[in-house]
Structure 1
Amino acid sequence: MTEMTYLAPCAMLSTVGIFKSFFLMKNNIEKEEGKFVNSVITLLNIFNICVVFDFTFTPIIKIVKKYISSGELELVLPHKVVYPFDAFDIKYWPFAFFKQSWSECIVLLEMCGADYFYYICCTFIRIQFRLLCYEFENLIPSRHLNEEEQNIVKSKLINLIKRHQELIKCTSTLDMIYSKSTLFNFVSSSVIICLAGFNVKATDNIALAVTFLTFLSMNLFQIFFLCLFGDMIMRSSMEVSDAAYNCLWYADRNVARDVLLVQIRAQNPCKLTAFGFADVNYMSFSKIMSTSWSYFALLNTMYNENQEN
């Protein structure tokens, strides 16, 4: 009896968890949205882990290789940092090495935490816009409505308009939170991508080239997905206009006027910006890549001329 009462609460709680997850998956209209954002997060996690491992273990590989070939213990750190002590002294090197490796993890966690929350918020807003489109398309059940049905449609339309306004406010709030950091991200990404690409091309060390290639890929994916999710919000918000047009708005003249206003507003897309200087979409990504290539070409030309001289 004691054993049964001991196991029963755990079994029941497990059953509740199974039922909750089962019905959540069964009734989730936008399951593909959740799968997509999970796939994005998984992909970025893989690249982030690879970056940490590359920057952490490349110095160790160099140390071991040097020791095997020459018998000398030449200590190396992941990053070239100046300390007020001799960081290459065996007494201090482990602490400096651990500090730099831990700093890499902190930086990536700070960036990933903010980015992943951004992706989730964008996905949530996009799901709500798509649900709103579905509700608009099915707003009017038939072309001929009696008085009671007209009142029901009018009430539903008022609720849909309020939901639309709330989604616009949600997008504006998200833009307010991320606009300044997005601007800095846009400006810095061109330089980061340029320098990472140059390090891949200029170095003769294969291990270092692989490290910076992983770093370059991580930055490319990071800025690409930032623009992708911003573009998703723009497109989904504009789809509301088509959904409002596709409903049987001509069945009720009173409804037609309000639906027209929704269409007009939805044609002005909800968007995320880089502090008002640029919209976060595919076009911004192409501009960043174009700017990065220009910087890379200039830097590469200067480097080749210097090598020739």
Structure 2
Amino acid sequence: MAYGSMFFWSTYPIFDNSVKKYRLPFLAWYPYNTKISPYYEITYVYQVFGIIFLATTAVSVDNLIAALNVYIGAQFDILCDDVLHLYDVTNEITNFSEKLIKCVMHHQLILEFAKNSNCFFNWIVLGQFFISGITIGITMFQLTTQVVPLTSEFFSLVSFIMAIIVEIFMYCWFGNEVELKSRNILYAAFKSNWIDTSKEVKKNMIFFILRCQRPLKMSALNLFYLSLDTFMKILRASWSYFALLYQVGSRK
């Protein structure tokens, strides 16, 4: 989606024949005249390579954040399976206790890794949420008031909006999956046959269950949780920005 948007942005002056007017893909100021050749062609290629670099960087960062969340979710799946089959592996109480301790340690390692990962992309996701919400609203306003429908520029803006929506959806979807998978640990603990274990093991199991009652929520500086609810809030905020701009623009 990102590279499709990049392609449309890089080529719409060609498809619209606005290259004859020496129009660049992006409005920018340069300390030389870009309306003459070969400065126009050089600047055009420079902007294309610039957008390729930015798109590649954005996709790489987004994939890294998604991969971190997928890894955390996979670790929760492994832990969930271990907790669920604590008593299935052996009937010896001592082994049950040892395996429970390993599960608790595994859970702590997952939480520590998730904390470090969250610290890594805190500011990235927070900035992306704010910028995306405003950008979607402004771009929708451009589509409805300033761009001729079904032109190359129109499709460029549409692909740009779709790329942003997919980007924030990736953040929210995988973050939401982490929360759901962390909740499964609690259910797996209840389903593991620990009723017939010793009093000490039962006590440890209760403490583990109490700890698992609070699901892991990935966030952006604890202001926004990465969840589908946050995704819908961003879209609603974008629509509010668009409605405000459209209302102000219609009065002029």
Give the TM-score range, shorter chain.
over 0.9
Aligned to 2:211: 265
- Asked if 1:291 is matched to 2:237, the reply is yes
The one-letter code matched in structure 1 to 2:247 is: T
1:170 Cα deviation from its structure 2 partner: 0.9
- Deviation string, structure 1 residues 237-256 (Cα, Å, up to 9, x no partner): 11101111110111113222
Match of 2:5 among 37, 51, 65: 51
Superposed counterparts of 1:167-182, under 5 Å: 167-182=110-125
- Asked if 1:192 is matched to 2:135, the reply is yes
- Deviation string, structure 1 residues 282-304 (Cα, Å, up to 9, x no partner): 11111111111110001011122
Superposed counterparts of 1:126-205, under 5 Å: 126-141=73-88, 145=91, 149-202=92-145, 203-205=147-149
Match of 2:184 among 239, 249, 255: 239
Superposed counterparts of 1:96-107, under 5 Å: 96-107=43-54
What is the alpha-carbon root mean square deviation over aligned residues? 1.6
Structure 1 unaligned runs (5+)? 1-46, 68-72
Work out the percentage of aligned pairs sharing the same amino acid: 22
SS in 1 for 2:29: coil
Paired with 1:56 and 1:198, the residues of 2 have a C-alpha distance of 21
Where in structure 1 do 4 or more consecutive aligned residues deviate above 3 Å? none
Is the 1:56–1:101 Cα contact (8 Å) retained in structure 2? yes
Q: With the length of structure 2 as denominator, give the TM-score of the two structures.
A: 0.94
- Asked if 1:62 is matched to 2:16, the reply is yes
- Deviation string, structure 1 residues 37-89 (Cα, Å, up to 9, x no partner): xxxxxxxxxx11211110111111223xx68xxxxx32210011011000121
Aligned to 1:210: 155
Is the 1:227–1:285 Cα contact (8 Å) retained in structure 2? yes
The structure number with the bigger radius of gyration is 1
Is the 1:190–1:289 Cα contact (8 Å) retained in structure 2? yes
Superposed counterparts of 1:27-42, under 5 Å: none
Is the 1:200–1:210 Cα contact (8 Å) retained in structure 2? no
1:106 Cα deviation from its structure 2 partner: 1.2
Paired with 2:184 and 2:196, the residues of 1 have a C-alpha distance of 22
Is the 1:199–1:209 Cα contact (8 Å) retained in structure 2? no
Is the 2:22–2:34 Cα contact (8 Å) retained in structure 1? no
Paired with 1:298 and 1:181, the residues of 2 have a C-alpha distance of 27
Paired with 2:148 and 2:66, the residues of 1 have a C-alpha distance of 37
- Deviation string, structure 1 residues 227-271 (Cα, Å, up to 9, x no partner): 111111111111101111110111113222112112111111112
The one-letter code matched in structure 2 to 1:109 is: T
Higher RCO structure, 1 or 2 (CA under 8 Å, sep 6+): 2
Match of 1:251 among 185, 196, 202: 196
The one-letter code matched in structure 2 to 1:204 is: V
- Asked if 1:221 is matched to 2:146, the reply is no
SS in 2 for 1:208: helix
1:157 Cα deviation from its structure 2 partner: 0.9
Aligned to 1:42: none
Is the 2:183–2:215 Cα contact (8 Å) retained in structure 1? yes
1:141 Cα deviation from its structure 2 partner: 2.5
Structure 2 unaligned runs (5+)? none
Q: Relative to total residues, which structure has the larger helix share, 1 or 2?
A: 1
Paired with 2:117 and 2:137, the residues of 1 have a C-alpha distance of 29
